[in-house]
Structure 1
């Protein structure tokens, strides 16, 4: 089983929404999505796990690796709606990873800290394994 992902830039931050199961078979695809994120946008990245059915130990390590990659690009990683079947326990050399109960809470946290959101949105997503779709939507 693999994952599907969608990356949206809004409110001066990125939102990487992941669905499916983040297990050993999906780690490479997740790392590719993180590479896409690193190359596009600036500021913090919220990984929205609302659609994730679960994760393995390898999937959790992929999350901490993503936090390191983003930190190397002067960006932070935050999680929203982690799966109920586990908690994330990063090792000592991992940057802090704030965890929010849901995406609304994560977005509220940022709008409270940084003022009003700016207009417009940019989005990339997988449409099927191996295919990507991009679009720009002005609001």
Structure 2
């Protein structure tokens, strides 16, 4: 039984949040919480809160279904960061000019599932995979 948690409009840039999310992808949920607790990045706190919320959501789902629940069996099935709306601000510059400052936001999503029931993540074609490429002249390389 998978459980999802999402935080929207988090005031962390998506690029910085993705660095933190890459640390925990595919790990056991309890281990990931401890990794995020001691990570020096500022984005680790909102990601940790979303992960703890996903664990709590899994507990509630298990209670409603009258199933046994052990959070040590939960694995992070998928975790990703999407870009939220950007707040545009202006800053005065020299000689009467103004420059724009973009304050970016993120949408953080965490999906946890028990180890035995984890659904395989979508497979991406590896960088080293060979593919047949057709050139304009009709030949292949």
Provide TM-score, normalisation by structure 1: 0.25
Larger radius of gyration: 2
Q: Which has the higher helix share?
A: 2
Q: 1 or 2, which has the higher strand percentage?
A: 1
